[in-house]
A and B are shown apart, each in its own frame.
Chain A
């Protein structure tokens, strides 16, 4: 069965610093990969997705993620964080056929320090 691991439950970063949130997946083939963000008291919103091709994908608000098949990883990055990036970030995977449901990691809470 597919699974997603986000090893860091909470990450604290100073405003303006760079960010990396880690995600490892377990799946027999190459799945579709996603990062979702959940702002306080809001529903989950899609940040970016990877289906195939260039392993570095760009998302909204300056976020990007890099797919690594050899490491079974899909880490999220941002060059310079803003206080408004404070949220919970979820990595998710679905099989490439799409006829299945999204499996989420447990999420990483991002705290931005002034």
Chain B
């Protein structure tokens, strides 16, 4: 089992460009979560899916952030018109439904 796979590990974008982050959950896990990690804010919840359906996106900045889970094997987080304040480590986690989360290594997004 390779664990939760996130790609790319690092992404550098210019201000105003789009960034798409990918997450492959552990096979058989029914829930996928996205978090954002910064020094100042710590770990912030963004959104999560259960059985591919969006359940809670209360942490998502509404205007430029979107997340999808088109099939059970991957989820994407898209940030349009990236801004310097979007720079963070974006963490994806999956769960078999028993509350324990398994995290990926994260994608470090740097917006110049």
Contact = CB atoms under 8 A, between A and B. Distances in A.
A14 interface: no
Contact of B56 (A90, A101, A107): A101
15 contacts: A34-B100, A36-B103, A41-B105, A43-B3, A43-B91, A43-B106, A44-B91, A44-B103, A45-B103, A101-B48, A101-B56, A104-B35, A106-B41, A106-B43, A107-B42
A42 B106 CA distance: 8
Contact of B99 (A32, A42, A90): A32
Given A98-B97, A99-B50, 12 more contacts: A32-B99, A34-B99, A43-B3, A43-B4, A43-B105, A45-B103, A101-B33, A102-B99, A103-B45, A104-B42, A106-B42, A107-B42
Contact of B104 (A32, A43, A100, A104): A43
B42 A105 contact: yes
Contacts of A100: 56
Nearest to B47: A101
A104 B99 contact: no
B97 A104 contact: no
A20 B45 CA distance: 26
Interface in A66-109: 90, 94, 98-107
Interface of B: 3-4, 33, 35, 41-43, 45, 48, 50, 55-56, 91, 93, 97-101, 103-106
A49 B102 CA distance: 13
Interface residues of A, number: 22
Contacts of A41: 105
A46 interface: yes
A98 B50 CA distance: 12
Nearest to A90: B43
Contacts of B101: 44, 46, 102
